[in-house]
Amino acid sequence: TTVCSVKKQPDFSTSGQWEVVTEFEGEKEVNIFDGVMVCTGHHTNAHLPLESFP
């Protein structure tokens, strides 16, 4: 699934809702949400402790 767009609804100041357009296998879908989280994957690489230290 690809997120095509995220934008505020025209009545955002009163509803706080967002319009999210997604596409899967060439078919687009529009959904309305009360909140949106943008997760870029910045923290996807694990920071593991070293096995040994000099």
In tens, the pLDDT along 1-54 reads 999 999 999 999 999 999 999 999 999 999 999 999 988 777 777 777 888 887
For residue 35, give the nearest of 22, 17, 19 by alpha carbon.
17
Predicted pLDDT of residue 19: 99
Predicted pLDDT of residue 32: 99
Tell me the pTM.
0.71
Q: 17: which 2 tokens?
A: 């809702």
In angstroms, rounded to a whole number, what is the distance separating the alpha carbons of residues 34 and 10? 13
Predicted pLDDT of residue 27: 98
Q: 24: which 2 tokens?
A: 């899967």
